[in-house]
């Protein structure tokens, strides 16, 4: 690269600096705004120093976020353009995808409250870095925690678990998200696969326990439905499974993993027998991804 090109590069950097520092003042000049928001334009002006310019844009994004976060009238409208340009200049800038998604998705005056843009950023990162399982967990988190989109979250975690060298907890997360979203059958399939494929005794033990818990939850869901039919017919809820059997609504007595019959509450909802020693797995929660 000719040395004569370096002054042009520094002029580009100076324009970026002035654009960010001018926030809260008069509107920027049209050419400066175009420079900031157009990854293609910046890429041409970088004169081959794409990675360097990407780092500079990322640094300015962090500074811009830090200068606005927590303010009552926080304005993050330039955050996405900065992150978009930074990751276009340097598609391997993984830190920008991870923390940029946090900056974009945080609600209130802590972040931009734009989970849609956070998803778009991480998807861009995954496309450029398909072997990075951490980015897959970032996307799964956005779907699960921010958007409450359990099917897509589970699908992302399951796909991410197939990346070489990804840790086992990612597939476990997929199974738990399926439980959260109500798809106990799919969750059972994933836990079964974990049980059959792992050589880790602790993971196998947990998978077996989760499978027993899923079976019990499915039993109780079915019993609750049958109890409603019994109430409609008899004017009251059943007190035992035996009553459902006598009414012809059951063909057998379902039992929990310890072999005890389920019991019913006054509201018709089934629950584990008081005599059982089986402890249901905790309700699905978000696993905390290992720190980077």
Task: Assign 186 a pLDDT band (cuts: 50, 70, 90).
Answer: confident
pLDDT for residue 75: 86
Question: Residue 83: exposed, middle, or buried by beta-carbon count in 10 A (0-12, 13-18, 19+)?
Answer: buried
Digit-coded pLDDT (tens) for 25-59 = 443 444 344 445 666 666 666 666 788 888 988 99
- Residue showing tokens 């090109």: 5
- Please, what's the b/e burial string for 46-59 (b: 16 or more CB within 10 A of its CB; e: otherwise)? bbebeeebbbbbbe
Which range among 12-26, 61-75, 176-190 shows the weakest confidence by mean pLDDT?
12-26
CA-nearest of 100, 175, 180, 184 to 144 is 180
Digit-coded pLDDT (tens) for 231-258 = 999 999 999 999 999 999 999 999 999 9
pLDDT for residue 242: 94
Digit-coded pLDDT (tens) for 82-117 = 999 999 999 999 999 999 999 999 998 899 999 999
Q: Quick check: 278 pLDDT over 90?
A: yes
Q: Quick check: 143 pLDDT over 60?
A: yes
Rounded to an integer, the average pLDDT of 11-24 is 54
Strand (E) or helix (H) holding 271: strand 270-271
What is d(CA 69, CA 81) in angstroms, rounded to the nearest whole number?
17
In this prediction the pTM is 0.69
pLDDT for residue 48: 65
């Amino acid at each position: 690269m000719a040395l004569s090109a370096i002054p042009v590069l520094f002029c580009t950097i100076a324009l970026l600096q002035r654009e960010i520092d001018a926030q809260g003042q008069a509107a920027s000049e049209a050419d400066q705004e175009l420079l900031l928001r157009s990854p293609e334009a910046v890429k041409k002006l970088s004169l081959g120093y794409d990675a360097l310019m990407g780092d500079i844009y990322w640094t300015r994004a962090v500074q811009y976020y830090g200068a606005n976060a927590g303010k009552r009238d926080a304005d993050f409208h330039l955050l996405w353009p900065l992150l978009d340009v930074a990751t276009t200049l340097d598609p391997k800038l993984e830190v920008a995808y991870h923390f940029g998604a946090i900056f974009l998705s945080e609600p209130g005056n802590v972040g931009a409250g734009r989970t849609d843009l956070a998803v778009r950023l991480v998807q861009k990162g995954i496309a450029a870095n398909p072997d990075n399982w951490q980015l897959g967990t970032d996307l799964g988190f956005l779907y699960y925690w921010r958007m409450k989109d359990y099917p897509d979250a589970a699908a992302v975690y399951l796909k991410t678990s197939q990346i070489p060298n990804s840790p086992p907890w990612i597939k476990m997360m997929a199974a738990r998200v399926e439980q959260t979203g109500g798809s106990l059958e799919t969750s059972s399939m994933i836990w079964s696969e974990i049980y059959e494929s792992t050589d880790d005794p602790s993971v196998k033990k947990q998978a077996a326990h989760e499978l027993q818990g899923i079976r019990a939850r499915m039993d109780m869901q079915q019993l609750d439905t049958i109890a409603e039919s019994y109430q409609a017919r008899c004017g009251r809820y059943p007190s035992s499974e035996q009553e459902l059997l006598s009414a012809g609504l059951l063909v057998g007595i379902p039992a929990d993993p310890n072999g005890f019959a389920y019991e019913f509450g006054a509201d018709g909802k089934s629950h584990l027998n008081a005599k059982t020693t089986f402890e249901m797995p905790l309700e699905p929660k978000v696993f905390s991804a290992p720190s980077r």
